């Protein structure tokens, strides 16, 4: 039986990958690599066949047992971990020593063009270690609106980013899960390839704020901010420096680049069309308005 280990299993993408993989692959053992197995079990209660192993990116002593007898590793970079040499080199060495032969790595669209971002360094590290890989390079997550950007949206009805009029390509994380599940399942067909996974819409934050305002019937205002001020603001809010920097680069860099390319990979892999922003916003509408459990800011 094949064993597939999913890192970041409790996060946006990891959860979506597990859901899609459980539906697609009934024969492999699907194992969630998590810091707290007991807590994670409640998250996947609808998937009783999912197994759990303790795994901590920041604790190399957890690698050997987590990687034992694994065929395919779905690897992602948790947002707060940016130091590739400290965390990913030992991890990849341990994966190789334990005989892991296939890695599906969650990268980012355009990773090949920017040597400063950690995803680029991780991609190159995997290649240099001669482990067979697939790089999944998704565009900008629609779910950023309902996670990292949500507090400002619900409490202030604003979105403040250093993105100006830059257009982003918007992808639903559920679609990334569906595409990744196909890639894990048909690894040999896509071995050593990098695939962009995008939606069909390139929209600026101003346009998305307008669309959101219509869907939730509340005026949401977008303001563009100087990137240095944005970085300092995120630090002041308590974000770790590396994370604040990646967030700044992610939202500023598109101003200096061409509009993102739109790829047909999602449709080719799954036979479906990607979620549109309008469908996403209607589906997630409840998350964009304050709930009684939201604290006041
Ligand atoms: N946001 C975007 O638009 C975008 C676009 C393209 C690519 N990406 C990339 O996608 C990745 C983030 O994916 P995501 O949104 O799914 O992340 P996420 O929702 O923040 O989830 C992070 C996951 O990593 C786990 N984790 C964090 N620290 C850990 C540690 N020390 N040991 C073990 N597990 C740990 C978390 O587990 P716990 O439950 O234990 O915290 C959680 O399961 C990043 O590399 C980002 O650059 C993002």
76-123 per-position pLDDT tens digit: 999 989 899 999 999 999 999 999 999 999 999 999 998 888 999 999
Choice from 78, 119, 266 to test ligand 1 binding pocket (greatest atom count within 8 A of CB): 78
Select from 122, 58, 68, 127 the least CA-distant residue to 94.
Answer: 68
Residue carrying the six token digits 């590290």: 125
User: How many residues appear in the chain?
Assistant: 297
State how far the alpha carbon of 231 is from the alpha carbons of 168, 204, 212, in Å. Answer: 20, 20, 25
Query: Do 278 and 211 touch, CB atoms closer than 8 A?
Result: yes
Instruction: Give the closest residue (by CA) to ligand 1 atom 23.
Output: 8
**Are 52 and 41 contacting, i.e. CB atoms less than 8 angstroms apart?**
yes
Distance of alpha carbon 19 from alpha carbon 47, whole angstroms:
8
Please report the atom of ligand 1 found closest to the CA of residue 39: 39
DSSP 26-76: SSSEEEEEES-HHHHHHHTTT-TT-EEEE--TT-GGGHHHHHTT-SEEEE-
Q: Verify whether ligand 1 is closer than 6 Å to residue 266 (CB atom).
A: no
**Relative to the CA of 141, which ligand 1 atom is closest?**
3
Quick one: which atom of ligand 1 is closest to the CA of 76? 45
Task: State the distance from the centre of ligand 1 to the C-alpha of 80, rounded, in angstroms.
Answer: 8
Distance CA(286)–CA(294), nearest Å, equals 12
pLDDT digits (tens, 9 = 90+) for 137-194: 999 999 999 999 999 999 999 999 999 999 999 999 999 999 999 999 999 999 999 9
Q: What is the pTM of this model?
A: 0.96
Strand residues in 66-197 grouped as ranges (E):
72-75, 102-106, 132-138, 140-141, 158-161, 167-171, 193-197
Residue with the smallest CA separation from ligand 1 atom 32 is: 56
Q: What are 255-280's pLDDT values in tens digits? A: 999 999 999 999 999 999 999 999 99
């Amino acid at each position: 039986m094949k064993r597939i280990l999913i890192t970041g299993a409790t996060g946006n993408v990891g959860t979506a990958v597990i859901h899609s993989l459980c539906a697609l692959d009934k024969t492999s053992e699907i194992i969630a690599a998590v810091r707290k197995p007991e807590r994670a079990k409640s998250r996947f209660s609808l998937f009783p066949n999912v197994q759990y192993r303790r795994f901590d990116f920041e604790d190399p002593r957890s690698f050997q047992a987590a990687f034992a007898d694994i065929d395919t590793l779905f690897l992602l970079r948790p947002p707060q971990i940016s130091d590739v040499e400290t965390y990913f080199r030992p991890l990849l060495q341990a994966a190789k020593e334990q005989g892991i032969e296939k890695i599906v790595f969650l990268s980012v669209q355009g990773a090949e063009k920017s040597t400063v971002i950690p995803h680029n360094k991780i991609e190159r590290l995997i290649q240099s270690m001669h482990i067979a890989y697939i790089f999944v390079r998704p565009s900008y997550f629609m779910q950023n609106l309902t996670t990292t950007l949500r507090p400002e949206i619900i409490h202030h009805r604003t979105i403040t980013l250093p993105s100006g009029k830059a257009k982003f390509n918007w992808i639903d994380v559920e679609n990334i899960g569906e595409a990744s599940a196909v890639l894990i399942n048909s690894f040999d067909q896509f071995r050593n390839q990098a695939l962009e996974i995008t939606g069909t819409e390139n929209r600026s934050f101003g346009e998305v704020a307008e669309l959101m305002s219509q869907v939730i019937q509340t005026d949401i205002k977008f303001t563009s901010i100087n990137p240095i001020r944005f970085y300092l603001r995120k630090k002041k809010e308590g974000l770790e420096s590396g994370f604040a920097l990646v967030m700044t680069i992610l939202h500023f860099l598109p101003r200096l680049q061409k509009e993102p390319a739109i790829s047909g990979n999602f449709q080719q892999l799954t036979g479906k069309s990607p979620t549109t922003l309008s469908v996403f916003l209607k589906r997630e509408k409840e998350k964009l308005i304050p709930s009684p459990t939201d604290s006041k800011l």
